[in-house]
Amino acid sequence: MRFTTSLYLTAFAISASIASLPAISSAQSNPSSNTNFVAQQPAPVFSDIAGNPYESYILEATKLGIVKGFPDGTFRPQQAVTREEAISMIVDALNTVVPINVNEQPTRSVRPYLDIKPSRWSAAKINWAQWNFSVLQAGSFTGNFRPTAPIKRNELVNVLRSAAQNLQLKLGKSSFLAPTQPPIEFTDVVGFDKQLTLQMSAYCGVASPLNAKGTRFAPNQPASRAFTAAAIVRTINCVKNAKK
């Protein structure tokens, strides 16, 4: 069977609370702001990330305006990221490299998601990602996106692979994601996940072990805020450093 990115991402799963929305960046809460580069933010100070293996990436992601902390001064690194939050963060990250207009019209035929109303805060970015990544096509037989469902670790990495390829093309580079380091052979992945993690662990360590230690990737676990921030920053930096 031939696996495709669009088929694979139809497996996005189950529920998540929308309570984490306050942690979305200002650019995420205002989709029209994505027509220009996202301005860098002052370096934050969080009370709960000291010693976290992804601490430096969390700070870099926050400085770039991709994500922010909560009013109580925490980042909540282990909190799960929802599908709409992940897409919003990724689109904002791409916008730090090339200007993106999330309100542009699609250049190909797409099927709108039934559960994404135009008034939803994430609608413009979800639609833009669907048109540009070719990874969020319906495939879910219901035609729903399920925006508040948590995104799994393998799903996040799969989206980032397509986002990286898309960004490299926008920069006039090949879509080939050249390895930058030896791949990690995770002990808990098979089939598509094995191919995905071998490629993306070699691509600037975008696919990294669970909690950044050991040999488990935990593909079906929800992606945490810390891992998501790190994976996105690594992807963006890898694209920027890729040769033409």
What is the pLDDT, as a whole number, of residue 3?
38
What is the pLDDT, as a whole number, of residue 142?
74
**Among 46, 12, 10, 40, which Cα is nearest to 25's?**
40
What is the pLDDT, as a whole number, of residue 201?
98
pTM, to two decimals:
0.83
Evaluate whether 91 touches 99 at the Cβ level (below 8 Å).
Answer: no
Q: Which residue has the tokens 């999330």?
A: 102
Per-residue pLDDT in tens (0 to 9) along the chain, 244 residues: 433 333 333 333 323 333 333 354 434 444 434 444 555 666 678 999 999 999 999 999 999 999 999 999 999 999 999 999 999 999 999 999 999 999 998 888 888 889 999 999 999 999 999 988 866 544 456 788 989 999 999 999 999 999 999 999 999 999 999 999 999 999 999 999 999 999 999 999 999 999 999 999 999 999 999 999 999 999 999 999 998 7
Region of 104 on the Ramachandran plot (φ > 0 left; ψ -120 to 50 alpha; else beta): beta
What is the pLDDT, as a whole number, of residue 134?
62
One-letter identity of residue 18:
I
